[in-house]
Structure 1
Amino acid sequence: MNTAQTLGDFLRSRRTRLDPASFGLSGRRRTPGLRREEVAQRANISSTWYTWLEQGRGGAPSAAVLERICAALMLTNPEREHLFMLGLGRPPEVRYRATDGVDPRLQRVLDSLDTSPSIIKSATWDVIAWNRAAAVVLIDYGALPPGQRNILRFLFSDPAVRAKQHDWESVARFVVGTFRADVARAGLASEVGDLVDDLCRISPDFERMWRDNQVFGHSEGQHVKRLMHPTFGSIEMEYSLFAVDGRPDLSMLVYTPLDARIAKRIRSAVSSIEERVAAAPVTAA
């Protein structure tokens, strides 16, 4: 397959689907969509070079140029990713969108995992959704203000969370290294500056680990989390990280208990909470 020609064909198909009238353009046209020079003007690139791109002879465009073409053609996120794969052979940088929660469909997925503590975290490691098993085993995120639901804050400032860790030093070092990689990949190094500064101020341990500049990938961990839980005792859980469809800045972290007896006790605790919630009187708004 001729990648340059495929890129050109894709650009042409996206250009011809656009309605000139929606851009305030009038006049009779022999072909549907915008003209090549109009797309080039919107993208602030040479009309000649854009024509060459569509003809499969424009060379490899830069990421910045592709971003301008994406905006000019009003591409969706999947179309943007496809254009980058054709033009550069890699996906574009993640677009981070701050959010306070997830849609009901994804929350139902979390809730269906009644024995597996599960959370949705952002690229900045803020926990934006969780299930009741996570509240029982990990931490009651709902009892915290939204701005405090950050995994690094728990780990370095909450003595109860620290006491649960089987090997806090190793866990903390791995978390800091993967956090550093995640925020860099998402282009958010400057956005987390306040968080990093705050953690350095309140935790000498975090400052020490942050200064080490270690970087880890999620696949480098042992994929087993060990906790000393005040109710369940010693817990071992495998953990898996999943991408969230349509949101590359989010990921779902699922912990699966290795002991069937622990899983049964977690399910029982979750059921008790659900029963209490169901029995609670409904207050008028």
Structure 2
Amino acid sequence: MEPSGQERRQELAQFLRTRRARLQPEQAGLSSGGRRRTPGLRRAEVALLAGVSADWYTWLEQARNIQVSAQVLDSLAAALQLNGDERKHLYLLALQQLPAEQPPASVGIGSVLTQFLELQGTSPAYVMDPKLNVVGWNKAAALIYGDYASMSERERNSLWRTFTSPYVRRMLQHHWESHARHRLATFRSHYANDPGDSWWMSIIAELNTASPEFRAWWPQHDVLSGPEGKKINHHPIAGRLVFDQLSFVVTDAPHLTMTINVPDRDTDTASRVEKLLSGSLQPEERLQPGER
């Protein structure tokens, strides 16, 4: 049974009181002002740190039915030094929705995730940030999709590469348009978290100039998320490769998405990728019947 509005407000009020009680004035850059009757910050101090009136914050802790904006919730989250999970909980209690993602300024992957990528073996795998920049990959992905290590930062952006790389078009052949539209719709859904930001505006402007397809499709406002399903690639050495695509959010780094392309079991894709990895693919094996 879904809680009523009053029950949610009571839960929010209790949550705020517990977060306030655990934070000492010195941790918030305030003077303790001598002995205090109760632990933690005073309501007026939280209000000061969050840039709201003391009365308004008091009403919030009293579970009154008042309007709360995302901007104010972010200010409260900062004032109370909430972690990511606590910030989400605050939003769900106050607005019944999750906050927009706030990816870190510097995005990368750790050693465990790097090792996990390499363990995928014949499954080309890569990690993307919210801007669709490829920030991690395994050897199979580099051999099939391109040498990411030698690319510029812009070239490692999946949307940019989809619309500007002749290699990607040759690899996808008549599947290119569906792939490009899917990438664009995914990019649009991420763009909604930070519209107007200079990075997003820059790549949109550049793609408008570089790609007639992007210029035609961007105004359509298609929005989509999730994997593409079956992928068919036409590799210049390995020939036709068929994959089933799996994507998921990295649990301890929710701003990152991992995509694993699993070789289709009804084809010889896995053996072709294995030979590609070992460098033992023979010329006569490079193309399948019908591709010569």
TM-score, normalised to structure 1, is 0.87
- Residue 151 of structure 1 and its aligned partner are, at CA, apart by 1.0
**Which 5+ residue runs of structure 1 have no aligned equivalent?**
274-285
Mapping of residues 5-154 of structure 1, within 5 Å: 5-22=10-27, 23-26=29-32, 27-99=34-106, 101-154=108-161
1:182 to 176, 183, 190: 190
State which drifts further: 195-204 or 221-230. Answer: 221-230
* 8 Å CA contact retained: 1:100, 1:146: no
1:226 aligns with 232
How many residues end up aligned between the 2 structures? Answer: 270
* 8 Å CA contact retained: 1:121, 1:129: yes
2:214 aligned with 1:206: yes
**Which 5+ residue runs of structure 2 have no aligned equivalent?**
281-292
Between the aligned partners of 2:108 and 2:48, the Cα distance in structure 1 is: 38
- Residue 138 of structure 1 and its aligned partner are, at CA, apart by 1.5
Between the aligned partners of 2:142 and 2:159, the Cα distance in structure 1 is: 17
Between the aligned partners of 1:265 and 1:19, the Cα distance in structure 2 is: 61
Mapping of residues 185-196 of structure 1, within 5 Å: 186-190=193-197, 191-196=199-204
* Paired amino acid for 2:74: E
Between the aligned partners of 1:244 and 1:222, the Cα distance in structure 2 is: 18
Between the aligned partners of 2:42 and 2:117, the Cα distance in structure 1 is: 47
Mapping of residues 159-178 of structure 1, within 5 Å: 159-166=166-173, 167-178=175-186
Cα distance 1:242–1:222, how it changes in 2: closer, same or farther (>3 A)? closer
1:276 aligns with none
* 8 Å CA contact retained: 1:229, 1:235: yes
- Residue 214 of structure 1 and its aligned partner are, at CA, apart by 3.5
TM-score, normalised to structure 2, is 0.85
SS at match of 1:192: helix
1:283 aligns with none
Identity %: 36
Higher-RCO chain (CA-CA 8 Å, sequence separation at least 6):
1
State which drifts further: 257-266 or 71-80. Answer: 257-266
State which drifts further: 151-160 or 34-43. Answer: 151-160
Between the aligned partners of 1:28 and 1:100, the Cα distance in structure 2 is: 43
2:259 to 247, 253, 268: 253
SS at match of 1:225: strand
Between the aligned partners of 2:41 and 2:135, the Cα distance in structure 1 is: 41
2:285 aligns with none
* Paired amino acid for 2:206: D
Between the aligned partners of 1:81 and 1:171, the Cα distance in structure 2 is: 32
State which drifts further: 97-106 or 223-232. Answer: 97-106
CA RMSD of aligned residues (A): 2.0
- Residue 173 of structure 1 and its aligned partner are, at CA, apart by 1.9
